[in-house]
Amino acid sequence: MPASAPRRARRSGPVVTVLGGVGLALLVLPLLGLILRAPWAELPTLVTSAPVVQALLLSLGTAALSTGACLVFGVPLAVLLSHSVHWHVVPRRLLRAAITIPLVLPPVVGGIALLLLLGRRGIVGQWLAEVGVTLPFTTGAVVIAQTFVAMPFLVFAVEGALRSADRRSESAAATLGATPGQTFRLVTLPLVAPGIAAGTVLCFTRALGEFGATITFAGSFPGVTRTLPIASYLAMNSDPDVAIALALVLLAVSAVVLLTLRDRWLPGVVR
């Protein structure tokens, strides 16, 4: 970009400022309302109560596991996706669509689909049931549901990094006799590390907030499948103060993860 770009072009006009301001207000005010309406006096008791702690630990544990699963399967998938530029147009577009659809799909639909695939009478689930494995209503189902909705975030973050990485180093490594595995481990991975870190953060926060696919596929039972978002939703039925407290915990955890990881690990990648 030329350094002498005219300054006036950078100044926002009144229409942009007003509309942008309304957009910002829509994003910020509801959260502000949540914070203002919070029962601050009872908050320490509410937040340390057994059901809240149980849901928090379950949420953190399952989100960590599903983020791990996303890394194990999502990084190789991102590599495949970045290699697909050399493929024929049809499989290339199909692959991209297959990864994009879960991203734009309402999570409840994902939950129904998972139930019909992996449920006791599901296409794959009935075989699993015969060998004594039933997934629905288990913590494993929560992890699968979270992985399903969160993985595309990681894949696209890593794929973006792979695309912008300088591929000549890889060619050089190959020329110098490195196997494809060595090249990936010693050259490609370090190159895309910032992209992986950014994807991991997105993936973890998305998994933490997962609701629709989880309640549909995994159900809701305290300590097993009732994660923070589900606990918050159900508490709204009986005790709004508890729901607000749970929502605040979720908001705080997400904010802390996003802020600390960004500053520490992702300088320059996510500004």
Q: Would you list the DSSP string of 22-68?
A: HHHHHHHHHHHHHHHHS-TTTHHHHHTSHHHHHHHHHHHHHHHHHHH
Residue closer to other proteins by CB (options 111, 152) is 111
Q: What are residue 120's phi and psi, to 5 degrees?
A: -60, -30
Of the residues 57, 240, 259, 263, which one makes contact with other proteins according to CB under 8 A: 240
- Angle of helix 50-83 relative to helix 240-265, nearest 10 degrees, comes to 40
Of the residues 43, 233, 262, 265, which one makes contact with other proteins according to CB under 8 A: 233
Residue 174 makes contact with other proteins by CB under 8 A: no
- Minimal distance in Å, beta carbon 248 to other proteins? 18
Of the residues 221, 255, 260, 263, which one makes contact with other proteins according to CB under 8 A: 221
- What tokens were used for 114? 């998972």
Tell whether the torsion through CA atoms of 118, 113, 111 and 205 is positive or negative. Answer: positive
Place of tokens 């996706």: 81
Residue 39 makes contact with other proteins by CB under 8 A: no
The window from 39-47, 205-213, 220-228, 258-266 that contacts other proteins (CB under 8 A) reads 220-228
How far apart are alpha carbons 59 and 71 in whole angstroms?
A: 18
- Minimal distance in Å, beta carbon 149 to other proteins? 17
What binding mask, one character per residue, do residues 123-142 give for other proteins by CB under 8 A, x or -?
A: x----------x-xx-----
How far apart are alpha carbons 226 and 118 in whole angstroms?
A: 19
Residue closer to other proteins by CB (options 162, 248) is 248
- For other proteins, the binding residues (CB under 8 A) are 112-113, 115-116, 119-121, 123, 134, 136-137, 215, 218-222, 224-226, 233-238, 240
